[in-house]
Amino acid sequence: MPAPKGQSGVRVIPLIPAQDLAATGQRQIHFRNPPPLTLYVHVPWCVQKCPYCDFNSHALPGSAPAIPEDDYLAALTADLEAALPTIWGRRVDSIFLGGGTPSLLSGEAVEQLLTALRSRLPLLPNAEITLEANPASVEAGKFAAFRAAGVNRLSIGIQSFNPRHLKALGRAHDAHEARRAIEIAARYFDNFNIDLIYGLPGQLPVEALADLDAALAFAPPHLSCYQLTIEANTAFAAQPPTLPEADSCADMQDAIEARLAAAGYTHYETSAFARSGQQCRHNLNYWHFGDYLGIGAGAHSKLTLHDRVLRQMRWKRPEQYLAKVAAGTPLQQEFAVAAADLPFEFMLNALRLLQGFDAALFESRTSLPLLGIETALRQAERDGLIERQQQRIAPSDRGRRFLNQLLERFLVDRH
Ligand SMILES: C[S@@+](CC[C@H](N)C(=O)[O-])C[C@H]1O[C@@H](n2cnc3c(N)ncnc32)[C@H](O)[C@@H]1O
Ligand code: SF4
């Protein structure tokens, strides 16, 4: 998951604009211990731009598209070095190479990149290192090299096995390549994820289940099943396709959840399903409102300092990012999240988890007492949107279905 928005497939609604800490005149906050820290590396290029995609991804020019690897690796290294003082002494628990299409990088480039990261960061032994891959043949041919370079988890964007739906999604791969890519991934990786999208143009519930069954035939340790969303500033937003009715999408979601439960997968986050012990550690850290440093074009960071939570965004367009890093200014934006906004930001992540969170996690991640949101929690419980058991707070089935309405209750009214 893209760090929240733009990273790694984790889809969240956009952040409300947070105000500068000093301008809010609100209570001061103090963190005794920062949360776990992970690293996200964004690779902003793709072979072509898919019509539904609003990630920071740019089609490479030319008939034999190639990433400017040397320049980009040098920029990532400089970007990381400039960021080191902000995370000094902190251990990194996982790395996620997301995109865009990181599998466009050569095996050598991934090896060089991981070496550069390892030599500058105290990485947890056995850290989860994920790479997002597209299933086109040329990329699947590099999976063995990615494994040899130190990647230990592959996330493959299959989306569908149905030729009609792959075409509607404007995908660059066909169903045969999809199957072949998963076979190769399973050969080299104990741990891999398959991304599927349902609610596709003209899709019937039975077709969504056929996609799921095709994926299950490979016994993937992890599956992400996203409902297609029409995002602003995409080709689909400009010319919307005809999507299945909301009721039909709800039927697909129910059927997908039932089929995966029967197959032994735990549904642990809105769109994420895993076999026992195979939950994505990197994404779990986002949902636990942990910290992440994001490097690369358009990458987002969330970093807890002793008296504030910082958010950063790097320059988005690849050529702009390269120039700005060379000039020593990789950040396009940096601000402290107002203390009053932390409960909403925490909930935006933690309420995606089916098991919810403990009161103690809320307090350690926001440095605020749970008492401050007790009224909103009581009302949400009364309206059947959350369930509370001792210190644990979790979304109910209804809360999951109407997640945005549930989250709105934790927004601060600034008027
Ligand atoms: C960063 S994206 C792309 C990864 C990779 N480049 C690919 O296309 O396979 C990660 C995942 O987000 C999901 N996704 C992207 N846009 C979406 C949308 N509009 N609606 C639903 N899921 C989407 C897809 O399943 C995709 O695999
Ligand atoms: S290949 Fe992936 S990241 Fe690139 S445009 Fe398509 S969905 Fe977006």
Q: Does the structure show a pLDDT above 90 at 109?
A: yes
Query: How far is Cα 43 from Cα 76, in angstroms, rounded to an integer?
Result: 10
Query: How far is Cα 56 from Cα 150, in angstroms, rounded to an integer?
Result: 25
- For the segment 41-45, the average pLDDT, to the nearest whole number, is 97
Query: How far is Cα 206 from Cα 76, in angstroms, rounded to an integer?
Result: 44
Beta bridge pairs of residue 195: 157, 224
- State CA 161 to chain mean position distance: 23
The CATH number covering residue 37 comes to: 3.80.30.20
Give the Å distance between the CA of 24 and the centre of ligand 2: 38
Determine if ligand 2 sits within 6 Å of the CB of residue 47: no
The pLDDT value given to residue 168: 96
The predicted-structure confidence for 216-266, as pLDDT tens digits, reads as follows 999 999 999 999 999 999 999 999 999 999 999 999 999 999 999 999 999
With the most atoms of ligand 2 within 8 angstroms of its CB, the residue from 43, 55, 166 to mutate is: 55
Do 131 and 276 share a domain, yes or no?
Answer: yes
Beta bridge pairs of residue 128: 94
Atom of ligand 2 nearest to the CA of 100: 3
Do 270 and 129 share a domain, yes or no?
Answer: yes
Of all protein residues, the one whose alpha carbon is nearest to atom 7 of ligand 1 is: 157
∠ CA 102-300-1, nearest 5°, is 55
Query: How far is Cα 308 from Cα 274, in angstroms, rounded to an integer?
Result: 34
pLDDT classification of 17: cutoffs 50, 70, 90: very low
Radius of gyration of the chain (CA): 21
Query: How far is Cα 251 from Cα 379, in angstroms, rounded to an integer?
Result: 29
Amino acid code (one letter) for 223: L
The answer to the question of residue 184 being in a domain is yes
The answer to the question of residue 74 being in a domain is yes
E strand spans, 120-186: 123-133, 153-159
Do 113 and 211 share a domain, yes or no?
Answer: yes
Total number of residues shown for the chain: 415
The pLDDT value given to residue 325: 98
The CATH number covering residue 377 comes to: 1.10.10
Atom of ligand 2 nearest to the CA of 48: 5
pLDDT classification of 27: cutoffs 50, 70, 90: low
Chosen domain end from 285, 302, 322: 285
Number of domains in the chain: 2
Decide: 361 and 288 in contact? Cβ < 8 Å: yes
Do 268 and 357 share a domain, yes or no?
Answer: no
Amino acid code (one letter) for 336: A
The pLDDT value given to residue 1: 63
Nearest to 17 by CA among 283, 414, 299: 414
The pLDDT value given to residue 138: 76
Do 226 and 364 share a domain, yes or no?
Answer: no
Do 46 and 129 share a domain, yes or no?
Answer: yes
Q: Does the structure show a pLDDT above 90 at 273?
A: yes
The answer to the question of residue 8 being in a domain is no
- For the segment 185-208, the average pLDDT, to the nearest whole number, is 97
Do 232 and 362 share a domain, yes or no?
Answer: no
Domain that holds residue 105: 21-285
The answer to the question of residue 328 being in a domain is no
Query: How far is Cα 143 from Cα 271, in angstroms, rounded to an integer?
Result: 25
Q: What mean pLDDT is reported for the chain?
A: 93
The answer to the question of residue 301 being in a domain is no
CA distance readout (Å), 295 to 3, 35, 83, 275: 11, 19, 9, 30
Determine if ligand 2 sits within 6 Å of the CB of residue 6: no
The pLDDT value given to residue 25: 44
The pLDDT value given to residue 415: 55
Determine if ligand 2 sits within 6 Å of the CB of residue 7: no
Q: Which ligand is nearest to the CA of 1?
A: 1
The pLDDT value given to residue 7: 37
The pLDDT value given to residue 3: 62
Determine if ligand 2 sits within 6 Å of the CB of residue 134: yes
Decide: 131 and 110 in contact? Cβ < 8 Å: yes
The answer to the question of residue 216 being in a domain is yes
The answer to the question of residue 329 being in a domain is no
With the most atoms of ligand 2 within 8 angstroms of its CB, the residue from 1, 11, 48, 53 to mutate is: 53
Atom of ligand 2 nearest to the CA of 172: 1
Q: Does the structure show a pLDDT above 50 at 13?
A: no
pLDDT classification of 19: cutoffs 50, 70, 90: very low
The pTM for the full model equals 0.94
Angle, helices 359-366 vs 342-350, to 10°: value is 130
Chosen domain end from 258, 285, 312: 285
Q: Does the structure show a pLDDT above 60 at 16?
A: no
The answer to the question of residue 95 being in a domain is yes
pLDDT classification of 322: cutoffs 50, 70, 90: very high
- For the segment 262-284, the average pLDDT, to the nearest whole number, is 98
Query: How far is Cα 58 from Cα 411, in angstroms, rounded to an integer?
Result: 33
Determine if ligand 1 sits within 6 Å of the CB of residue 134: yes
pLDDT classification of 385: cutoffs 50, 70, 90: very high
Determine if ligand 1 sits within 6 Å of the CB of residue 37: no
Angle, helices 246-262 vs 205-216, to 10°: value is 30
Q: Does the structure show a pLDDT above 90 at 125?
A: yes
Of all protein residues, the one whose alpha carbon is nearest to atom 3 of ligand 2 is: 100
Amino acid code (one letter) for 97: L
